[in-house]
Amino acid sequence: MIKIGLLGLGTVGLGVCEILLEKKSIIEEQTKKTIEISKILVRDLEKDRDSTVDSKILTDNPSDILDDPGIDIVVELIGGIEPAHTYITRALENGKHVVTANKAVLSHDLLGLTNLAKKNNRGILFEASVAGGIPIIKPLKELIKINKIKEIKGILNGTTNFILSKMIEEGIDFKEALTLAQDVGFAEADPTDDIEGYDAARKISILSSIAFGYNVAFEDVDCRGITSISALDIDFFKKLGLTVKLIGSAYSNDLDFDASVEPVLLNTNSTMANVNDAFNIVSIEGDIVGNLQFYGQGAGKNPTGNAVVSDIIDIINGELSHIDIEKKEKPANTPKILSNYYLRISLKSQKEPDFILKSIDRYELKYKFIREEGNLILILQNIGRQEVKDVIEDLEIENRSCYAKIDSKSYYFIQELNLESFNELVV
């Protein structure tokens, strides 16, 4: 008999209860154990709840779970850094295994929590913390047994992907698409974490820590969201044969490390450009296996519940698969990765383009440009992420511009086909 204590009974918690109930027989056949959810921590004992859960096992005292010697596995689904960090720590110290879906607490202290688990000879598994139902943490742990991972990237936030998909499909502006996402429950009342890219940054910090074998903190990820993208930009991306996605990505070799979240323009005919709505995709580049991509639902009761239950089964089967993120030193060097960037500036006057182009000339950049409906659109060539930021700061156009990296393979594609109407300036 395996006893589980659940911390939190939101959407995913309910999903876990339902899956363990509905799939009881096949799970018990796999594990040769009886599994019981014996206690669930909730905030409000009086709240009306689904009948799936017996109200007698609810408690509002965390100690009933964390300090109960009968409980084998603690499933943490409350989210956020505190009190989750305290609860996970106490559970591990009390000899319990932990399963968590909490990317905030993991990107905050992956090293501390995984070391504590190892010290106590217990498992901490977190398949559900990144990309919902997609099995990615476990396959990644397998891959690094053979491969050196050069790059890991993907569409890691369903909310922003839903918003961008709606903007593309329906030609609506960012705010309208955000409201739509809130109406259908894909975005929270306070959407900051999603639309500013913080959620994706947490996930890329977790993925890259495992992939590279050193600790990548949330703060190591250079993060930018999608709030400046307008319907006009979307329209222009279409004309260029490109699709915009919020991409979290991390790159490493022996000398360099770089991690970012930013809007990226992809060839409309590519796998990643066609990942729509709340779906996620993760792409991994290994030195032996080459490019792998994993696609699926990035959130939701059942997909995320599936990942949690999968971890529970692994723990019961003794597959604790500890990670080692102190294996290597994090490279000190941030490489200057040169890309091509789309930059749109909403013009204040007819004469402004001359001023802008002159200012940009000081950077000795190669670029193409076009004027379109009160906007100047530039394709800046071979420029680094920081340099684009500098240009924008210099021009004081932060509040009336939008910029996005053009994926290198896709740039090759649009270069041939869709830039003939642009004026070319060669320094």
Nearest CB to its own copies, comparing residues 2 and 391: 2
> According to CB under 8 A, which residues from 146 to 175 bind its own copies?
146-147
Of residues 96, 166, 203, 405, which has the active-site annotation? 203
Among 6, 19, 53, 356, which residue interacts with its own copies (rule: CB under 8 A)? 19
Among 57, 217, 313, 392, which residue interacts with its own copies (rule: CB under 8 A)? 313
Could you tell me which stretch among 71-79, 99-107, 305-313, 399-407 binds its own copies (CB under 8 A)?
A: 305-313
- What's the full length of the chain, in residues? 427
Query: What's the farthest any 2 CA atoms get from each other in the chain?
Result: 76
247 bridge partner residues: 262
Gap between the Cα atoms of 378 and 400, Å rounded: 14
Nearest CB to its own copies, comparing residues 66 and 144: 144
Catalytic (active site) residue 96: no
- Residue 120 engages its own copies in binding (rule: CB under 8 A): no
Beta-strand relationship, 2-7 and 279-286: unpaired
CB of 235 to its own copies, least distance (A): 17
Q: Which two tokens stand for residue 255?
A: 């000398």
CB of 246 to its own copies, least distance (A): 17
Q: Which two tokens stand for residue 141?
A: 């742990």
Q: Which two tokens stand for residue 365?
A: 């950049």
Gap between the Cα atoms of 305 and 351, Å rounded: 57
Residue keyed to tokens 């911390």: 7
Distance of CA 379 to the CA centre of its chain: 27
Contacts with its own copies by CB under 8 A: the residue count is 42
Whole-angstrom CA distances from 61 to 6, 41, 52, 57, 139 are: 12, 7, 21, 12, 36
- Residue 135 engages its own copies in binding (rule: CB under 8 A): yes
Nearest CB to its own copies, comparing residues 258 and 311: 311
Which H or E run includes 376?
strand 375-383
3-class DSSP assignment, residue 221 = coil
Which H or E run includes 389?
helix 385-395
Among 309, 376, 380, 388, which residue interacts with its own copies (rule: CB under 8 A)? 309
Nearest CB to its own copies, comparing residues 197 and 303: 303
> According to CB under 8 A, which residues from 318 to 357 bind its own copies?
319
Gap between the Cα atoms of 176 and 197, Å rounded: 19
> According to CB under 8 A, which residues from 228 to 257 bind its own copies?
none
- Residue 123 engages its own copies in binding (rule: CB under 8 A): no
CB of 214 to its own copies, least distance (A): 15
Beta-strand relationship, 124-125 and 401-406: unpaired
Nearest CB to its own copies, comparing residues 42 and 210: 210
Could you tell me which stretch among 138-146, 234-242, 373-381, 400-408 binds its own copies (CB under 8 A)?
A: 138-146
Cis peptide before 83 (omega within 30 of 0): yes
CB of 323 to its own copies, least distance (A): 12
Neighbours of 317 (CB within 10 A): 12
Nearest CB to its own copies, comparing residues 47 and 327: 327
Gap between the Cα atoms of 342 and 404, Å rounded: 5
> According to CB under 8 A, which residues from 264 to 303 bind its own copies?
268-271, 273-275, 286, 288-297, 300, 302-303
CB of 277 to its own copies, least distance (A): 12
164: nearest Cα among 84, 103, 67, 243 = 243
Q: Which residues are identified as catalytic?
A: 203
Q: Which residues bind its own copies (CB under 8 A)?
A: 19, 23, 26-27, 30, 133-135, 138-139, 142-143, 145-147, 268-271, 273-275, 286, 288-297, 300, 302-303, 305-306, 309-310, 313, 319
